[in-house]
Amino acid sequence: MRNGALRSELHPSDLVRTATIGARTRPLRAALSALGIMIGIGAMVAVLGLSESSKSELLAQLERLGTNLLTVEAGAGIGRGDAMLPDESIDMVARIGPVESTAYVVNVEANTYRTDLIPEAQTGGIGVLATEPNLLEAVNGTVAVGVFLNDASGRFPAVVLGSVTAERLGIESLVASPMVWLSEEWFVVVGILDSLALHPNLDRSALIGVEIAESLLDSDDPPTTIYVRTQPEDVVAVANVLPPTVNPEFPDQVNVTRPTDTLEAQEAADDTLTALFLGLGAVALLVGGVGIANVMVISVLERRSEIGLRRALGATRRHIAYQFLGESILLAGSGGLAGVLLGAGVTAAWALYQGWDTLVPIVAVVGGLVAALAIGAIAGLYPALRAAKLSPTEALRI
């Protein structure tokens, strides 16, 4: 009974009050010491948030572009130069059950110039492709200005420019009825395409009708690339039967790709970058933790007499340790909270700027806060133990 009466107790709300004394009496120092944690957590939350937001944007983009598009190209044949797709490929592909639509382009041996005065060697890297009006729909393309080729314009010297092509030729609008010099003929530009995320080769091409290509340029090559839209659930099955369908004799000379795979690969590359930035954030966090430990050690030295007073008032060593540990955790925790808000804010601002949906993963928010609190506990441990170890008489000596 005797010793039971001799227990020091600290009301939990008083523990919080004592742990906030340092921050209340020296707010600037507290804010500066929490800054490091805030930057570290902020960077990590922002990186995770941006990565998540861009991923969700990618998924939305894939959704828009459709993952049910396959492209068929001729692979390089062994010992026989460039292989070609057989002429009848298109009809055969169209007969595969789950195939919804097909379109194709034919490579035309020609170059496109702004005027007939430009030396022939300066091709600008622009290819010419012959195609049919259904291409635009097959690749989910849109026209920036003008119109796409139709059955009528496909028979005449009319051309639709890919976005990069238009830029290189310096053609931005159709107001002045621009023409381009294409294989010794003037072609009227009838439209310019928007950039196609999945088909950079189309961006760099000038598109003309198949009929004009045959009549004017004697082009009668088989299709270079076939675009195949399938029913979404049968993409893989169709991809597997495409090579033997297109070229029963040499199925291994047929390349089938799913363009959306490229985007996913790009995203995987971004993940490496995300990991790098997360590492940098962790370093900032570590430095922030060292900063807090530093400030806490100084604080314990400065507040010796307060520690002595508290021991005289009946504080146990444990109470003293809790007070300084609590102060450290509160500092780091508030830095962490500010960091989460900062990171979320940066993510939201960037997402807004890019027109994405803002997505801050909950694991980043919770993880960030937990990490901050843990760092506060670790950083405060040594100073708190030092404060607790101080003997009352030593602490009271001035």
Rounded CA separation 377/161 (Å): 62
Q: Look at residues 17, 23, 14 and name the one whose alpha carbon lies nearest to residue 332.
A: 23
Q: Which is nearer to other proteins, 240 or 391 (CB)?
A: 391
Computed from CA positions of residues 308, 310, 314, 317, in that sequence, does the dihedral angle turn out positive or negative? negative
Q: How far is the CB of 29 from other proteins (least distance, A)?
A: 14
Q: Which is nearer to other proteins, 46 or 307 (CB)?
A: 307
Q: Which is nearer to other proteins, 312 or 366 (CB)?
A: 312
Instruction: Give the orientation angle of helix 27-65 with respect to helix 362-389, to 10 degrees.
Output: 160
Q: How far is the CB of 383 from other proteins (least distance, A)?
A: 19
Q: Which is nearer to other proteins, 10 or 144 (CB)?
A: 10
Q: How far is the CB of 31 from other proteins (least distance, A)?
A: 17
Q: Which is nearer to other proteins, 9 or 218 (CB)?
A: 9
Q: How far is the CB of 28 from other proteins (least distance, A)?
A: 14
Map residue 205 onto helix, strand or coil. Answer: strand
Map residue 298 onto helix, strand or coil. Answer: helix
Rounded CA separation 31/24 (Å): 10
Q: Contact residues for other proteins (CB under 8 A)?
A: 2-3, 5-11, 13-14, 17-18, 21, 24-25, 305-306, 308-319, 391-393, 396, 398
List Cβ<8 Å contacts ≥24 apart for 124-127: 124/168, 124/169, 125/168, 125/204, 126/165, 126/168, 126/169, 126/204, 126/205, 126/206, 127/201, 127/204, 127/205, 127/206
Map residue 203 onto helix, strand or coil. Answer: helix
Alpha carbons within 13 angstroms on the beta-carbon side of residue 151 total: 0
Q: Which is nearer to other proteins, 4 or 170 (CB)?
A: 4
Q: How far is the CB of 395 from other proteins (least distance, A)?
A: 9
- The answer to whether 285 and 44 are in contact (CB under 8 A) is yes
Q: How far is the CB of 34 from other proteins (least distance, A)?
A: 20
Instruction: Give the orientation angle of helix 259-302 with respect to helix 362-389, to 10 degrees.
Output: 20
Q: Which is nearer to other proteins, 229 or 311 (CB)?
A: 311
Q: How far is the CB of 363 from other proteins (least distance, A)?
A: 38
